[in-house]
Structure 1
Amino acid sequence: MKYQGSCHCGNVKFEAEGEITSAMSCNCSMCQRKGVLMWFVPRQNMHLLTPDDNASTYLFNKHLIKHRFCPTCGIAPYSEGAAPNGDAMAAINIRCIEGIDLESIPVTHYDGRAI
């Protein structure tokens, strides 16, 4: 399935391919404040529909994850990083995807504060 999403103002738009079978909620200092629900896909399954420069990047802690956000509206539609095996991954904020029923997606909780 192909999904489309964006930040609030539309300055950062993307599409992603895959099946949303679950999402992850993390309680680390960043995710808890943003309230994101993450869906992980291989990075090659996510395609920007707007220029990469439209999104700003925030790095913290070990600087392993690029937290991408719109500098205009402040919404964070996705992050980029690597899976444990080194493959490039995208963590897509499913709250930014158009036309999905968030209540129907099971959410697992990850203790990001323990890392």
Structure 2
Amino acid sequence: MSVELPITGTCHCGAVSYEMKTQPKYAVECNCSICRRLGTVWGHGEAGEIEIKSAPEATLSYSWGDKELAFHSCRTCGCTTHWEGIDGEARGRMAVNLRLAEPGTIEAIGHRHFDGADTWTFLD
């Protein structure tokens, strides 16, 4: 399926928004320790395909473990908006939280479940 491009989304208060210029292959729900707690559904892409629009310092960044990913959340309303690859194989990659896009976006792309907690494979 396809969606109208660009895919756009915004946090609840509107301080942080994104524009994804290409459609991700899947909308991915991961069960790793952070993603299951955040309740996110990710649209993955290259950093050059995604534009984050916000004022400087509008997001809080969180990174742990191998420090390859930095998860960003709005400082005002707390919505998790995106992650960016900051080291290792993830460098140059990004993902946006598709739950912040228009209703129906996830279903139009196709929703897959990823086992990031154990097998590192898709479960469907």
TM-score, with structure 2 as normaliser: 0.80
The question of 1:9 aligning with 2:13 is answered yes
Which portions of structure 1, spanning 4 or more consecutive aligned residues, are displaced by more than 6 angstroms?
none
* Residues 108, 82 of structure 1: alpha-carbon distance in 2 compared, 3 angstrom cutoff: farther
SS at match of 1:103: helix
The question of 1:58 aligning with 2:56 is answered no
* Residues 52, 17 of structure 1: alpha-carbon distance in 2 compared, 3 angstrom cutoff: farther
Q: CA deviation at 1:87?
A: 5.1
- Partners of 2:25 and 2:66 lie apart in 1 by 29
* Residues 9, 102 of structure 1: alpha-carbon distance in 2 compared, 3 angstrom cutoff: same
Q: Is the 8 A contact 1:42 1:87 kept in 2?
A: no
The residue number in structure 1 matching 2:98 is 94
TM-score, with structure 1 as normaliser: 0.85
Q: Is the 8 A contact 1:83 1:89 kept in 2?
A: no
The question of 1:40 aligning with 2:13 is answered no
Q: CA deviation at 1:40?
A: 0.6
- Partners of 1:17 and 1:83 lie apart in 2 by 23
- Partners of 1:58 and 1:82 lie apart in 2 by 11
What percentage of aligned pairs have identical amino acids? 27
Structure 1 gap segments, 5+ residues each: none
AA aligned opposite 1:46: I
Structure 2 gap segments, 5+ residues each: none
Q: CA deviation at 1:6?
A: 1.2
